[in-house]
Structure 1
Amino acid sequence: MSDTLLKSAQQVILTEARAVTQLAERLDQSFVNACTLIQNCTGKVVLIGMGKSGHIGNKIAATFASTGTPAFAVHPGEAGHGDLGMIEKNDVAICISYSGESDEIMTLVPVIKRLGASIIGMTGNANSSIAQISDVHLDVSVEKEACPHNLAPTSSTTVALAMGDALAVSILTSKGFSPDDFARSHPSGALGRRLLTFVHNIMKTGDEIPIVSADTKLLDALLVMSQKALGMVLITNNNHLEGIFTDGDLRRVLETQSDIQNLQIKEVMISNCKTILADKPAMAAVQMMDEFNLNSLPVVDESNQVLGAINTHTLMQAKII
């Protein structure tokens, strides 16, 4: 039983993968024309599909919208009862129908044409009614569905979704859409939080910063480090950073020093330590700490004046990691 299930699943995935590979191999000027039409659109991109194609249209619309191309999906049945008023002459309508003969969509297409909106047909039949009336036709045909009866939309919906992703990503690349642009469309998501949160938003400041002078006894510095609970103490002179001493440094001192009673912090601190500027993205701090195996970072300005401090726990509290 298990072998049968696994073989069936593998066959489905391989069939759909082959269909997507074939799609990539036959992309041509029509794809470029569709991209150009969408890039030159001064309105919105409207996805229209019935049944499973409608679900694919919803996903493609969401991908477009999140990557800088205003888009939404319209149900063709609802469009025929008033929602067609959402479509305007400056829009581009992408009509998804594998057969290319969907009655619900064909009812709308002439009206969309009269409005002056452009139409991209995404069908599996270049000779279909929708393909013939479209300004640009995109071929999303497949050799067969992954369904063993060749009935349930499987390979065809996967290929339509891949075509939509190809359009959205090609256009965002052409426009120079950046990770910061993406984050602005996802302010509530984990990715948006990581990209839009800066060091100055989360760093400890003022009395929260563990600071001592270079002449401070090591034991007194350890007391400050314990009180501030950042796993480090910063050594400064008139707020100018001179070094850092961390929990890890303490372990190394205890391994090499038999008497720490009279040690001053300047004798064991790490000079020329890694720092980060307050206006850097918090993710830059994560990357630096990962690269150099650090748990803590001083935050400084261009003159190496201490502005704050962050550690791994700070980043975890801010949900950056």
Structure 2
Amino acid sequence: MDPGVALLALPDARLLVDGQLLPGAFFPLPLPSQALPEKLRLRLALDRAGGRAADGVVAALRLGDLASAWRLAMQARDEVGGLAPAGSALAAWAATERHRLGLATTAGAEVLVAADPAMAERLIGEARQAFVDSESLFAGLGWPPWYGPVVLAVEGFDLPEPGAAAGTGRATSHPDRPALPILRLPPPASFSRGDLDRWHGAAAAALVTATLAQTPAPAAGWPRWLVDGLHAVADARGRGVGPSPRDALERRQAAGAAGLTKLLTAAGDADPLLAAAVCTALCQPTTRRGLGRVLVLIRHGADGADALRIGAGLSIDRLLTER
């Protein structure tokens, strides 16, 4: 009988210290790992990633299994060490993908604009400033949470998915991708100062989307008051129109303690203007370093009122009396 028949049934395999134990049809067959094809070794390691999720990210990237890589990356963010053990692999993938897409960059570039050359040249300054704005807003979070630059892609510019042919004109955003995230934005209506400011604000808000998408969230997702409020603050800063701490205080006072409590504890839609007023207080220089603690508390079940009070020192009374 051909002994190869023993390998026909492979419902399971156990990892050995220096090899694999492959159950065959009649008896288990131990083989050194190096005797197996690389893709099989990686697939077995990925399927049985009982250790660090970051190790699974590395194996999945080497296999080209991007869906598994991004799923494991989110799991790894919860582990000691986070994504750091996979950092080199993620950075290498980002560099390879950037080259595939034809996105040239200088060393150390943190943000890219994907558009025709003339438009990219006009927008890159706004994109860089939006990045700086977000870096300031999320200073306490170890920002940015991704590897490689972030790509702000103008709608209509061809950025095909991995494996797709050029010319497909894909318009997919990847805000949750831990390497080379792509954020799609409409082009500015014109290159007037006002339209560039509006594009700057939209870019800053998109970076908020990417940051929240890559931060482990509660099962129900981030509350609307937090999402809408942070978007509004980032957009206003980008457009150079605030937000005004005085106006925000007046809006919170108009809502009163009952209105604030309802906003911060109720599920579902939120008053976007009141949400912006609350997040204006959260994003002040004296309180914004508490944002990371607020996110952790919300993720682990605290309502917004308790998270703001414990994480940033923003009690309802303080929200009603201080800018």
Q: Which has the higher strand share?
A: 1
* TM-score normalised by L of structure 2: 0.26
Higher RCO (CA 8 Å, separation ≥ 6 residues): 1
Q: Which has the higher helix share?
A: 2
* TM-score normalised by L of structure 1: 0.26
